[in-house]
Amino acid sequence: MKFDAIVIGGGIIGCTHAWYLAQRGLAVAVVEQAGLASGTSARNFSWVNASTKTSNAAYHNLNAMGVRLYAELAAELGEEIIGLNPAGALGVVSPTDPELYAGAQKQAQQLTALGYPNQWLSNDALRKAEPNVVFPDGAEALFTPSDKFLNAPRFTALMGDKIRALGGQIFENCEALEMLADDNGVVEGLRTNLGEMTAPRIIVATGPDTPEVLSALTGYDGFSRFPIGKVPGLLVTTPPVPDGLVRHLVHTDLGGEFHFFPDFNGGLRIASDDADGHVIEDRTPDHLRQLARGLLGRMQDYVPSFAGEACLDQCSLAIGVRAYPEDGHSIAGAMPGAEGLYVIATHSGVTLAPALGSLMATLVVDGEVPKALAPFGLERLSGFG
């Protein structure tokens, strides 16, 4: 089997990148050890945003590019087809917590300076935006209308369909075993459990499994120390609730970090970084139910008409393990010393899939590093310069 490029990883980043490669005319194969979107892409909060990334302009702009490209795809193909809800996000704060309040106002100023749309909502405006949600007295909000949330498995499946329509192939239940290369380290192909594939380009897009996959492909144990952490997160998805019960993605640090939005199944999707910290310590079923019970109780505090803990047995509980580069920013570029080998690994993968996918296609096909991608190459990392 002969291809122009092989993408290892059938998640949202791998499939989106493969689609951009196929659009450029390459014969593409996607190699996925399980099924498309069966890993992190199926178990994440799926918040498409650049609003929370304000400390680094290059990283903000990369995320803003992802937000913009989703809007363009929705305009071309339809929001429902790509699985996009463009409702926007509400960052809720209160003057009674001066530190959080000042931080949100600073965030609004930074977003304005960066050119990212935002609006400060008074208490009255916030209550009108979410009439069924009970906020603390005097609460206000930073509204970021460009923020969206995505049905990531649906989008990934769509990318798979489009890859096939352009002549590409997707190999599910296919494990990448060994990279084939000549004596000079030039990529020649890939050995898998389904046979050998030849290609001059291999792109590794395996998220939190990147260190293990690189080690297996190259036989170099040093890649086990590749600078990517694994951050688990608990997602609670409730059974259907009345339409319009929650209208936006809501996130707040009042009383502890908490965020929720109307999920695509008609229920609510709930998560909290606070709960995620406890998941790191203990992932036993009883502990996850205990954490979920707490999240459902907090949800009922915000929406009194919600069933709360009473619907626990009807909820879906999922653990998503997210990649987290050591400096918090994306890793995307050519692997030094191995001509034809590339890596994409990042946090915020749902937001960044179209941005990294398209920029990396320019690098892989044209051999040119786009300006927006330059700050995120592997050469910035210790041992790769």
Q: In what order do the strands lie in the sheet with 47-48?
A: 47-48, 148-150, 84-85
Cα 73 → chain centroid: 17
The full set of domain ranges for the chain reads: 5-43+152-227+326-380, 89-145, 229-323
Question: Which pTM value belongs to this model?
Answer: 0.97
C-alpha distance from residue 99 to each of 56, 259, 371 (Å): 21, 19, 36
Helix, strand, coil tally for the chain in percent (to 5): 40, 25, 35
pLDDT tens track of the chain, all 385 residues? Answer: 999 999 999 999 999 999 999 999 999 999 999 999 999 999 999 999 999 999 999 999 999 999 999 999 999 999 999 999 999 999 999 999 999 999 999 999 999 999 999 999 999 999 999 999 999 999 999 999 999 999 999 999 999 999 999 999 999 999 999 999 999 999 999 999 999 999 999 999 999 999 999 999 999 888 988 999 999 999 999 999 999 999 999 999 998 999 999 999 999 999 999 999 888 878 899 999 999 999 999 999 999 999 999 999 999 999 999 999 999 999 999 999 899 999 999 999 999 999 999 999 999 999 999 999 999 999 998 877 5
* Contact yes or no for 188/182 (Cβ under 8 A): yes
Of 171, 157, 160, nearest in space to 31 by CA: 171
Q: What are phi and psi of 78, to 5 degrees?
A: 110, 135
CATH of domain 5-43+152-227+326-380: 3.50.50.60
